[in-house]
Chain A
Amino acid sequence: MNLTSLSAKLSARFAINALLLLVVLSARFLRAQESPYIVTYDHYLEEPGNLEVEYFSNFGTQRSGNDFHAFWVEFEYGATAWWTTELYLDGQTTFGDSTIFTGFRLENRFRLLQHEHFINPVLYVEYEQINGADKIMKEVEGHDIESEKLDPNGVARQEHKHELEFKLLLSKSFNGWNIAMNPIFTKNLSPSEPWEFGYAIGASRPLALKASSKRCSFCVENFVAGVEMYGGLGDAESPGLHETSHYLAPVLAWNLPSDWTLRFSPGFGLNDNSHRFLLRWGLAHEFSGFGEMISHLFGGRR
């Protein structure tokens, strides 16, 4: 059995097991109220002391090459009500090629204002140490285009990227709707590389605004639907839309009881430089009181 078919089987088995687990655990009460976005960020941070562990998949089609399945795991911790810190581990399988680890990211988000305002800004700072085979496409920036992902993994992984990424997360909630916009600024730490720019925007709304009085998995208010759009805006040397890729993706989140969230998003390339189709899904679980538990382990006060 080759590595690709083994990876595909493991992915399928993981998905089935995860869904079974969801059904089993859908027994207690509503907790999470997560946004459906996969690329865009709103201004809400992780609750202090909670750890959210998330798994995401990104299946993408590739013209003139092999399709791929990229995946990543996120560990998101609410340090305070104004600071969330996060670790990402990325990997991918390119069909007919290989499965590889592609790097890690350390991300921090800082809420800039104490109260809610007409627009709520959050500063996003991320350090990435990834290689050229990374295909999770958590953000699209600069002149990222489909043909860049044609190289076999063995070649692409030779390129090492050390990047700092800054985003200004602007978001507003009103009448049940959330509107979010994220301008993106990325700098490869190699001095010869220019700043790159990108964007992500999203809008979403729960399918019902009032909560029902009964405890349920399938209550309409547990589902949040929306759409996001993201793409590159060139770099400091050649800003603009030429040689950039852009995507439009409906998004749906199912906030299950017992802190589980399932996200699903088919994405469609909007120009010839974009992958024609991306299929993303993710499964997240929130561990309440994680910080307190760890603190107790190391002799913190009770």
Chain B
Amino acid sequence: MTKPRSFFRSRRLTALGLGGLLVMGVALSVAQSGQPVATNKDRTHDYAELGKAPEKARHRQNPLEADPDAVAAGRKLFEGHCAECHGDAAEGSKKAPSLRADQVQQATPGALFWILTNGVVRRGMPVWSKLPEPQRWQIVSYLKSLGPAEKRHE
């Protein structure tokens, strides 16, 4: 019977460890450098993405506008997928802009849907087309229900 030979030789262990550390280190560095510190200038760029929605997409109507459950469902989805970066109350964080800002609240539902679908990949926002369309519209319903930040203090 063949005597088992250890696959885990020290050279391989070292290669595995160094390789893993290298990849993780580079990944972390890029991740951090890809998350700009929040400044007014940066946020202006973030909101400018809304203006890039094509005309046709901007004018799409929210098919769930009249759905009484859409806001509650959208809130649940927001808490699960968006709050980590945009804040629990969509007030923004160093990772992502406030969604209560005028630029967002005054945007058309279609423009918000387009941003959700396409993300802003180079600025760290993933595409969310993996959520089915109705769920993306539910999130839009929730966002539009928030109103601007100052309304919270009224």
Looking at the assembled complex, report how far the CB atom of B121 sits from the nearest CB atom of chain A, in whole angstroms: 4
Among B24-32, B102-110, B146-154, the one that faces the other chain is B24-32
Sorted from nearest, which 7 A-B pairs have the closest CB atoms?
A79-B27, A213-B72, A154-B2, A209-B132, A210-B134, A31-B80, A176-B132
Taking a contact as CB atoms under 8 Å apart, the answer to whether B118 and A116 are in contact is: yes
Residue of B nearest to A257 (CB): B80
Asked if A186 is at the interface (CB within 8 A of a chain B CB), the reply is: no
Taking a contact as CB atoms under 8 Å apart, the answer to whether A33 and B2 are in contact is: no
> Among the listed A29, A81, A155, which residue makes an inter-chain contact with B121, where contact means beta carbons less than 8 Å apart?
A81
Taking a contact as CB atoms under 8 Å apart, the answer to whether B131 and A33 are in contact is: yes
Taking a contact as CB atoms under 8 Å apart, the answer to whether A48 and B24 are in contact is: no
**Known contacts A87-B20, A154-B1; A291/B32 CB under 8 A:** yes
Contact residues of A between 71 and 109, Cβ < 8 Å to B: 77-83, 85, 87, 98, 100-104, 106, 108
Chain B 93-134 interface 0/1 with A at a Cβ cutoff of 8 Å (1 = within): 001000000000000000000000111111111110111111
Docked Cα-Cα span, A29 to B3, in Å, equals 51
**Known contacts A77-B24, A129-B12, A206-B132; A101/B7 CB under 8 A:** yes
Taking a contact as CB atoms under 8 Å apart, the answer to whether B127 and A44 are in contact is: yes
**Known contacts A33-B81, A47-B126, A212-B73; A106/B20 CB under 8 A:** yes
The interface residues of chain A lying within 8 Å CB-to-CB of B7 are 100-103, 131, 157
The interface residues of chain A lying within 8 Å CB-to-CB of B126 are 44-45, 47-48, 78, 81
Taking a contact as CB atoms under 8 Å apart, the answer to whether B37 and A80 are in contact is: no
Taking a contact as CB atoms under 8 Å apart, the answer to whether B121 and A211 are in contact is: no
**Known contacts A79-B31, A100-B7, A289-B84; A175/B121 CB under 8 A:** no
Among A226-234, A235-243, A266-274, A293-301, the one that faces the other chain is A293-301
The interface residues of chain B lying within 8 Å CB-to-CB of A100 are 4, 7
Give 16 new A-B contacts, CB below 8 A, not counting A79-B30, A289-B84: A30-B77, A33-B130, A44-B127, A47-B126, A48-B34, A80-B124, A81-B125, A101-B7, A108-B23, A129-B15, A129-B16, A131-B7, A211-B76, A211-B134, A214-B76, A295-B28
The interface residues of chain A lying within 8 Å CB-to-CB of B119 are 81, 115
Asked if A178 is at the interface (CB within 8 A of a chain B CB), the reply is: yes
Asked if A190 is at the interface (CB within 8 A of a chain B CB), the reply is: no
Write the residues of chain A forming the contact surface with B, with a CB cutoff of 8 angstroms: 29-31, 33, 35, 42, 44-45, 47-49, 77-83, 85, 87, 98, 100-104, 106, 108, 111, 114-116, 127, 129, 131, 152-155, 157-158, 173, 175-176, 178, 206, 209-215, 221, 288-289, 291, 294-295, 300-301
**Known contacts A81-B126, A206-B132, A212-B69; A157/B19 CB under 8 A:** no
> Among the listed A152, A210, A291, which residue makes an inter-chain contact with B31, where contact means beta carbons less than 8 Å apart?
A291
Taking a contact as CB atoms under 8 Å apart, the answer to whether B4 and A209 are in contact is: no
Asked if B135 is at the interface (CB within 8 A of a chain A CB), the reply is: yes
Taking a contact as CB atoms under 8 Å apart, the answer to whether B121 and A82 are in contact is: yes
The interface residues of chain B lying within 8 Å CB-to-CB of A206 are 132
Taking a contact as CB atoms under 8 Å apart, the answer to whether B69 and A213 are in contact is: yes
Docked Cα-Cα span, A42 to B20, in Å, equals 24
Residue of B nearest to A133 (CB): B7
Would you list 19 pairs from A and B whose C-beta atoms are within 8 A, ordered by A residue?
Answer: A29-B79, A29-B80, A31-B80, A77-B27, A80-B124, A81-B127, A83-B27, A87-B23, A87-B24, A116-B129, A129-B16, A154-B1, A176-B132, A210-B64, A211-B138, A213-B72, A289-B84, A291-B32, A301-B37
